[in-house]
């Protein structure tokens, strides 16, 4: 939902009082005499923004700046999934002043992170304030320098991440190329073993073929990560099959080594997804849980139906994740508590889940444990491709 400049919501008396109070305590007016401000008879125009509402977009005319009385305003560059966060402006701060100062169009987009109450101050009022008090100029410059430092930090982080992503992409292509031939040789050996009249050899051949195909899929996932867009192979499956496969692949093995495994399967019906890719995501989460518990503890697999979505939750009783790390857990190359971790696994998991039209999140408490929540639309993402069988590309 978009709210254009000038289309302001009416405000109640309590909101006007709050706006006036925040006007006097805003960082822009810090140290300026109250009588000086009163003499200008400034009445900031008020606006209420709901979460997600856009105040102004990049390129829009800039004839006013805003003080924040309540809530948080998101300043970003670009649109949609490619939008890059530049700053979060909170209560007691101001924004939008650059376009007022230089008379140029807006250089970024401002939207409500949560419910916001803002005050709009016209450019002419800003000019009057600047001439009346030199303290306002000092406040303005101090805030501007602080924002430039924050932006520089974000820019440096983005540049380093882009460089590492480029490097890992080149490295991935090289690794995948080198590993394709050995995998192909294993599949050729499987074909040869299948010619023998021995149940034991055929069983071994079946295991080898299954492992080789999984290696091929993992190589493809690495390529997808380096390209940034996984190709989803849609199919119709059941939650019962998902739970059984997780049992066979990893849960029974954990139970055998001393971890208590609980299964809360409240939904066994159908869902549409790329089964193998979803399986890899869940197995990766379970392996991380195993490491967090250090071979002892309890793990719970829960599958339920929530509206039109299937919710898979994996809970462990491990050491937990520090609060500072939770916000970074799905960032590329971030690894928590792993000396040899690459930091790619959770980033790939997020990409794959979102490619299904779903969501992945994590909650954790130190010393208590961690829960990963994976929610997927039961009918698949809108506009999904037709079902297809997976064929390893070797």
Q: Which domain holds residue 104?
A: 13-132
User: What is the rounded average pLDDT for all residues in the chain?
Assistant: 78
Is the same domain home to 182 and 269?
Answer: no
pLDDT (tens digit per residue) in 81-109: 567 788 888 888 888 877 777 778 888 89
Is the same domain home to 166 and 63?
Answer: no
Q: What integer pLDDT is reported at residue 313 of this predicted model?
A: 97
Strands 260-265 and 298-306: parallel
Residue 388 domain-assigned?
A: no
Is the same domain home to 285 and 365?
Answer: yes
Residue 365 has pLDDT above 60, yes or no: yes
Is the same domain home to 240 and 354?
Answer: yes
Is the same domain home to 42 and 79?
Answer: yes
Residue 7 domain-assigned?
A: no
Is the same domain home to 250 and 339?
Answer: yes
CATH number of the domain at 98, please: 2.60.120.10
pLDDT (tens digit per residue) in 307-358: 999 999 999 999 999 888 887 888 776 666 554 445 667 888 888 898 899 9
Residue 124 has pLDDT above 90, yes or no: no
Which DSSP helix (H) or strand (E) runs through 239?
helix 239-246
Is the same domain home to 121 and 169?
Answer: no
Residue 385 domain-assigned?
A: no
Would you say the pTM of this structure is higher than 0.85? Answer: no
Is the same domain home to 239 and 352?
Answer: yes
Supply the DSSP symbol for 12.
-
Query: What's the Rg (C-alpha) of the chain?
Result: 28
Q: Which of 227, 250, 273 is the last residue of a domain?
A: 227
pLDDT (tens digit per residue) in 33-60: 667 666 666 677 888 899 989 999 988 8
Higher pLDDT, 199 or 283: 283
CATH number of the domain at 211, please: 1.10.287
Residue 11 has pLDDT above 60, yes or no: no
Is the same domain home to 294 and 365?
Answer: yes
Specify the number of domains making up the chain. Answer: 3
Any bridge partners for residue 261, and if so which? 299
- How many other CB atoms sit within 10 Å of the CB of residue 207? 11
The per-residue DSSP string of 27-55 comes to: GGGTT--HHHHHHTT--PEEEEE-TT-EE
Residue 140 domain-assigned?
A: no
Residue 22 domain-assigned?
A: yes
Percent of the chain with pLDDT over 70: 67
Is the same domain home to 241 and 366?
Answer: yes
Closest C-alpha among 330, 248, 237 to residue 278: 237
pLDDT (tens digit per residue) in 267-301: 999 999 999 889 989 998 998 899 899 878 999 99
């Amino acid at each position: 939902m978009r709210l254009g400049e000038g289309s302001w919501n009416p405000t109640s008396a309590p909101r006007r009082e709050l706006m006036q109070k925040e006007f006097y305590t805003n960082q822009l007016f810090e140290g300026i005499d109250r009588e000086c401000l009163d003499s200008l008879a400034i009445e900031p125009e008020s606006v209420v923004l709901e979460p997600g509402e856009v105040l102004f977009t990049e390129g829009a005319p800039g004839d006013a700046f805003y003080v924040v009385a309540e809530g948080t305003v998101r300043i970003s560059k670009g649109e949609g999934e490619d939008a890059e966060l530049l700053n979060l402006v909170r209560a007691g701060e101001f924004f939008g002043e650059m376009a007022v100062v230089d008379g140029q169009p807006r250089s970024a987009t401002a939207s409500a992170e949560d419910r916001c109450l803002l005050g709009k101050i016209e450019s002419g009022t800003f000019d009057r304030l600047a001439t009346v008090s030199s303290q306002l100029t000092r406040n303005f410059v101090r805030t501007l320098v602080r924002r430039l430092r924050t932006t520089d930090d974000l820019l440096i982080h983005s540049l380093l991440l882009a460089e590492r992503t480029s490097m890992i992409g080149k490295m991935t292509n090289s690794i995948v190329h080198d590993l394709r031939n050995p995998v192909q040789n294993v599949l050729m050996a499987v074909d040869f073993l299948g010619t023998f009249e021995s149940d034991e050899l055929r069983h071994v051949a079946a295991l080898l073929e299954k492992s080789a195909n999984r290696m091929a899929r993992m190589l493809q996932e690495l390529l997808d990560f380096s390209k940034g867009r996984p190709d989803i192979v849609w199919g119709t499956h059941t939650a019962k099959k998902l739970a059984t496969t997780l049992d066979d692949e990893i849960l029974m093995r954990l139970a055998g080594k001393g971890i208590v495994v609980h299964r809360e399967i409240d939904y066994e019906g159908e869902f549409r997804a790329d089964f193998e890719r979803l399986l890899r995501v869940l197995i990766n989460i379970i392996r991380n849980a195993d490491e967090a518990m250090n071979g002892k503890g309890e793990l719970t697999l829960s599958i339920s139906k929530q509206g039109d979505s299937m919710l898979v939750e994996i809970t462990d009783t491990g050491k937990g994740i520090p609060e500072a790390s939770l916000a970074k857990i799905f960032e590329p190359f971030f690894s928590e508590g792993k000396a040899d971790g690459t930091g790619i696994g959770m980033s790939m998991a997020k990409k794959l889940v979102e490619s299904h039209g779903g969501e992945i999140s994590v909650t954790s408490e130190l010393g208590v444990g961690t829960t990963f929540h994976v929610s997927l639309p039961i009918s698949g993402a809108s506009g999904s491709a037709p079902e297809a069988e997976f064929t390893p590309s070797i």
